[in-house]
Amino acid sequence: MPKMTVDPYYCKGCGLCIKACPKKIIRFSEEINAKGYHYAECFDQDSCIACKLCYVTCPDVAITVEK
């Protein structure tokens, strides 16, 4: 089963992955990371198709996608 995870430490809250996801299953967390950013999170892992568009879009390599 596909699984997308964001490492909060590296996320700068730019939102590019949210725009890139064709399934629209990424949002900003209500929590903030150590740098003060609302980091991205996948809220519906079951709908992830492991297309990796979020992974290739993230400028800070904060995203991991597993199949």
The reply on whether position 11 binds ligand SF4 by CB under 6 A is yes
- Label residues 23-53 b or e (16+ Cβ within 10 Å = b): eebbeebeeebeeebbbbbbeeeeebeeebb
* Contact set for ligand SF4, span 13-52 (CB under 6 A): 13-17, 20-21, 23, 25-26, 39-40, 42, 48-52
Tell me which of 33, 65, 66, 67 binds ligand SF4, using CB under 6 A. Answer: 65
User: 10 Å Cβ neighbour count for 67?
Assistant: 9
Which residues of this chain interact with ligand SF4, rule CB under 6 A? 2, 4, 6, 11-17, 20-21, 23, 25-26, 39-40, 42, 48-54, 57-58, 60, 62-63, 65
